[in-house]
């Protein structure tokens, strides 16, 4: 009799242990009807959203809502929209929070969050807006923060921006004011806040300490998308510009007409159309004396810079040392420490010390990929290696403009001619060709949507020049006596593949007035400037 009793005790003990594990691992919900479902997914029927079990097809929430979103697998609730208002439903379609709100946002609460003392008994809260005012409630409709704020930017910090009576300040979830409501604007950038007062902008800390004086008319990112993840911002005061470094929370004086590019704390500045370089300490690294400067690398300050003086290009470094003499009409990086150097329309490959690599000169030279680059003579193409050794030439369909100025002048000529054949010739040259597609595929450069569109058969490559021609024909009569004025601003978009792009619009003169034209996402790809979008007249 002892053995059955022992077995029974073991079974009971195991059952108790199993139940303890289940209770420990399974979330407990006060409302059994809100238990999560594994096989559920919001879907649409007859233009309305509902919820059905995807396995049994049983309707759980009637299909009578404009929208339904599942909060998450850990929380068995759904945010729904009906007649323009938002509420919350459980898994059986029961209304948990009434449809009273013009906005309803879900925020998960973690034990690591800094406001755990306020929300110690809650897994999540809702940010809601009613009658134009915002606050916070919990799943039981209990008010956490009264609905008295026009805007709330909740970022899960111990305090966060909110606006009241048209002014911005900082509050916490207890409603305590951490920074008085005194600013016209407020937005977080990392762990600091950009604010505005009386039309002027600056930066403050979470505690309200002024980090950048509130005296600037604008604070903006660099236009170069390649710099969007850097800590640098251009600050403007009375049309003069400086730099704010959000990482070190330091800034330079606003003394310059333009600041065009950045490389690891070094900035190209322009005054009176002359270029130089400063650092974050506002120290002048390169005198403001050059006609043009450009970084070939946005990450490696040891690489040479392109410089122009007296109409000729050369290479310099940040120690002010001239590494390649000012003797070329154009110099372009072609990857791997090599450069295309051109004079009178003929190009050769040089290295960073100015040593000539190629034995011949070419009409154009492409980018090195895996130690090989395309070279062109007329309609013939060949391949060279890193030593300048050349293979056999064969015919190529590569076409286009190798410098931006020539392209823009050709556009003006085409628009002034009113001759369809000249306009078509320009469209053929400026649009991608088979060589463009080949380079994009070989390099893996993924930014243009061209390859995606071609694979999806949105259009054929041969259709693109006609699409451009049809668009340019709309401009005829609007762009008479067109004259090229300014290149626009070009930026390094891909350092690895030496892809440059034109940011913003290009300025032309049409008779007595200036016009801004966006020439379709121009990028220099394998040595040719190509447009990856249709052109448009800027507003």
Measured between its terminal Cα atoms, the distance across the chain in Å is 95
Of residues 248, 251, 250, 246, the one with CA closest to residue 192: 246
pTM here? 0.77
Predicted local distance difference test score (pLDDT) of residue 340:
97
Q: How many helices (H) and strands (E) does the chain have?
A: 6, 46
Predicted local distance difference test score (pLDDT) of residue 112:
61
d(CA 78, CA 471): 47
Structural contact between residues 108 and 78, judged by C-beta atoms closer than 8 angstroms: no
CA distances from 49 to 88, 90, 337, 516 (A): 14, 15, 58, 46
Q: Quote the Cα angle for 298-301-305, to 5°.
A: 80
Of residues 114, 127, 116, 120, the one with CA closest to residue 153: 127
Question: How large is the C-alpha radius of gyration of the chain?
Answer: 32
**Edge-to-edge order in the sheet of strand 536-537:** 482-486, 506-510, 513-518, 536-537
User: What is the DSSP-derived secondary structure letter of residue 475?
Assistant: T
Domain boundaries, the chain: 32-191, 335-396, 404-537
**Is 38 buried (19+), middle (13-18) or exposed (0-12) by CB count in 10 A?**
exposed
Predicted local distance difference test score (pLDDT) of residue 276:
97
CA distances from 3 to 6, 8, 9, 10 (A): 5, 9, 10, 11
d(CA 519, CA 510): 16
Six-digit token pair at 270? 């322009």
**Is 82 buried (19+), middle (13-18) or exposed (0-12) by CB count in 10 A?**
middle
What are the residues whose beta carbons fall under 8 Å from the beta carbon of 67, sequence distance 6 or more? Answer: 49, 80, 81
Dihedral Cα 358, 364, 369, 372, nearest 10 deg: -40
| E strands in 330-379 | 330-333, 338-343, 346-351, 364-365, 372-377
Structural contact between residues 52 and 67, judged by C-beta atoms closer than 8 angstroms: no
Six-digit token pair at 439? 């380079």
- For 234-275, the pLDDT digits (tens) are 999 999 999 999 999 999 999 999 999 999 999 999 999 999
Structural contact between residues 67 and 80, judged by C-beta atoms closer than 8 angstroms: yes
d(CA 525, CA 522): 9
What are the residues whose beta carbons fall under 8 Å from the beta carbon of 103, sequence distance 6 or more? Answer: 86, 127, 128, 129, 134
d(CA 515, CA 488): 12
CA distances from 42 to 77, 426, 492 (A): 12, 51, 45
Of residues 315, 370, 327, 373, the one with CA closest to residue 349: 373
Dihedral Cα 486, 489, 493, 499, nearest 10 deg: 20
CA distances from 280 to 244, 276, 406 (A): 8, 14, 36
Predicted local distance difference test score (pLDDT) of residue 121:
58
Residues of the chain with pLDDT below 70 are: 1-39, 73-74, 110-122, 477, 484, 486-489, 539
Q: Is 91 helix (H, G, I), strand (E, B) or coil?
A: coil
Predicted local distance difference test score (pLDDT) of residue 115:
64
Question: 168-205: string of b/e by CB count within 10 Å (b at 16+)?
Answer: bbbbbbeeeeebebebeebeeeeebbbbbeeeebbbbe
What's the CATH architecture for 335-396? Answer: Beta Barrel (2.40)
Predicted local distance difference test score (pLDDT) of residue 108:
82
């Amino acid at each position: 009799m002892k053995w059955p009793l022992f077995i029974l005790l073991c079974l009971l003990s195991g059952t108790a242990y199993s139940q303890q594990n289940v209770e420990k691992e399974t979330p407990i919900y006060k409302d059994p009807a809100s238990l999560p479902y594994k096989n559920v997914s919001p879907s649409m029927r007859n233009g309305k959203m509902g919820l059905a079990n995807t396995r049994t097809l049983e309707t759980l929430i009637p299909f009578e809502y404009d929208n339904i979103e599942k909060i998450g697998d850990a929380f068995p609730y759904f945010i729904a929209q009906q007649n323009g208002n938002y509420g919350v439903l459980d898994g059986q379609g029961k209304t948990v929070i009434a449809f009273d709100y013009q906005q309803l946002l879900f925020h998960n609460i973690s034990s690591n969050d800094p406001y755990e003392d306020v929300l110690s008994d809650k897994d999540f809260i809702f940010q809601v807006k009613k009658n134009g005012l915002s606050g916070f409630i919990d799943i039981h409709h209990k008010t956490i923060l009264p609905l008295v704020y026009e805007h709330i930017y909740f970022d899960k910090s111990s305090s966060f921006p909110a606006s009241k009576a048209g002014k911005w300040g900082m509050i916490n979830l207890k409603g305590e004011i951490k920074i008085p409501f005194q600013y016209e604007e407020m937005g977080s950038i990392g762990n600091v806040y950009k604010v505005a007062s009386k039309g002027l902008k600056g930066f403050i800390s979470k505690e309200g300490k002024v980090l950048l004086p509130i005296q600037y008319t604008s604070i903006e990112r660099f236009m170069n998308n390649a710099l969007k993840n850097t800590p640098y911002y251009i600050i403007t005061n009375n049309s003069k510009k400086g730099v704010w470094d959000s990482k070190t929370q330091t800034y330079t004086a606003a003394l310059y007409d333009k600041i065009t590019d950045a490389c690891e704390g070094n900035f190209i500045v322009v005054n009176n159309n002359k270029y130089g370089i400063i650092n974050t300490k506002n120290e002048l690294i390169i005198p403001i004396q050059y006609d043009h400067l450009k970084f070939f690398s946005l990450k490696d300050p040891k690489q040479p810079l392109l410089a122009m003086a007296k109409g000729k290009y050369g290479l310099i470094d940040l120690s002010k040392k001239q590494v390649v003499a000012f003797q070329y009409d154009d110099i372009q990086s072609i990857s791997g420490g090599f450069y295309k150097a051109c004079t009178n329309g003929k190009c050769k490959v040089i290295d960073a010390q100015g040593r000539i690599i190629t034995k011949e000169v070419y009409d154009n030279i492409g980018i090195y990929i895996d130690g090989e680059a395309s070279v062109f003579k007329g309609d013939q193409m060949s391949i060279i290696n890193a030593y300048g050794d050349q293979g056999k030439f064969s015919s190529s369909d590569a076409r286009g403009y190798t410098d931006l100025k020539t392209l823009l002048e050709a556009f003006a000529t085409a628009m002034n001619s009113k001759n369809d054949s000249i306009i078509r010739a320009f469209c053929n040259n400026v649009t991608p060709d088979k060589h463009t597609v080949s380079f994009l595929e070989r390099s893996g450069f993924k930014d243009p949507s061209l390859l995606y569109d071609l694979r999806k058969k949105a259009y054929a490559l041969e259709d693109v020049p006609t699409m451009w021609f049809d668009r340019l024909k709309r401009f005829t009569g609007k762009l008479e006596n067109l004259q090229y004025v300014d290149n626009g601003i070009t930026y390094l978009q891909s350092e690895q593949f030496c892809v440059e792009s034109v940011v913003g619009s290009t300025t032309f003169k049409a008779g007595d007035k200036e016009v801004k034209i966006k020439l379709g996402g121009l990028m220099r790809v394998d040595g040719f400037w190509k447009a990856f979008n249709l052109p448009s007249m800027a507003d």
